[in-house]
Amino acid sequence: MSFELAMVEQLAGSTLRVSTPLLFAALAGLLCERAGVINIALEGLMLVGALAAAAAALQTGSPWAGAAGGAAAGAVLAALYALTVIRLRSNQIVAGTAMNMLAAGLTPFACKLLYGSSGATPSLELGARFGSAPIWLAWGLVLCCWAWLRFSVSGLWVRFAGENPEALDSAGISVNRVRWLAVLAGGALAGLGGASLSIFLSSSFSRNMTAGRGFMALAALIFGKWKPVPAAAACLLFGFADALQIRLQGVALWGDRPVPVQFIQILPYLVTILVLAGLVGKSRAPRALGLPFQRD
């Protein structure tokens, strides 16, 4: 009995840890997309956040300084993204892909300049890493984001920037300014997501350590119907599927032959497909998503 209890406890802990970077990234995507800007650059934003956080934590010995560094770096790359897609009105998918490639190349390069190794930053002492703070921070941000979008005036502006930018414009609010701020805040959040990878879930930045999590977060956002709480629940579900597959590997479910590892490993993806295919119902994107705003 106590063994099973310990197992459940471990599974829950693992779920919360694994879903934390996804939560940050999904919130980042949510902010941008509710404001009408597609953000497939989450992966790249997380990567620069992960590197900057590791570097800042290494320099100061404080994980909070690391988190701040990660958020700042995410915001800087997001500014570049905003410049190309809002100011210069380039295609958001193309520009987002370019940001991902830029980050994938830039981070090992910067790492090489700083630490003489393109593979990883030196590893952080336990004191320069987070205990469980990022989990609380992520869930706190989910609630803040939900309340803000729902109850505040500026939250309303963000929603209008994505649904009906013309109406927002005729109310005298600059659509592009709202979008700029949303993208920058999103960049900072994604940077925090990256930071949670490098200074919470591991002890250094290493190349391409996001391993597709930015895209997982995007999927969570879509099947959370672009709403904070359902998107967070989707992240948690992904995290749970991942944590569960870790524990199911090599376990014999029936008979004495374990299920092949590859079948277990498709679990998170299978869950995604099943949930997307039937369980969530219709998921509708913000109406003006992906359309640059231009005054007539």
Per CB under 8 A, residues contacting other proteins are: 6, 10, 14, 17-18, 21, 104, 108, 112, 117-120, 123, 126, 197, 201-204, 206-209, 211-212, 242-243, 246-247, 249-250, 261-262, 265-266
Question: Quick one: 46 or 288, whose CB is closer to other proteins?
Answer: 46
Quote the least distance from Cβ 228 to other proteins, whole Å. 24
Q: Produce one character per residue of 179-213: b if its CB has 16 or more CB atoms within 10 Å, e if not.
A: bbbbbbbbbbbbbbbbbbbbbbbbbbbbeebbeeb
Question: Quick one: 39 or 206, whose CB is closer to other proteins?
Answer: 206
Alpha-helix residue ranges (DSSP H) falling in the chain: 2-34, 42-60, 63-82, 92-115, 133-151, 153-163, 165-170, 175-196, 213-223, 228-248, 261-265, 267-274
Question: Quick one: 91 or 202, whose CB is closer to other proteins?
Answer: 202
Measured distance CA(169)–CA(179) in Å, rounded: 12
- Decide: 92 and 191 in contact? Cβ < 8 Å: no
Quote the least distance from Cβ 28 to other proteins, whole Å. 18
Quote the least distance from Cβ 72 to other proteins, whole Å. 22
Quote the least distance from Cβ 34 to other proteins, whole Å. 28
Question: Quick one: 174 or 202, whose CB is closer to other proteins?
Answer: 202
Quote the least distance from Cβ 286 to other proteins, whole Å. 30
Q: Is 2 helix (H, G, I), strand (E, B) or coil?
A: helix
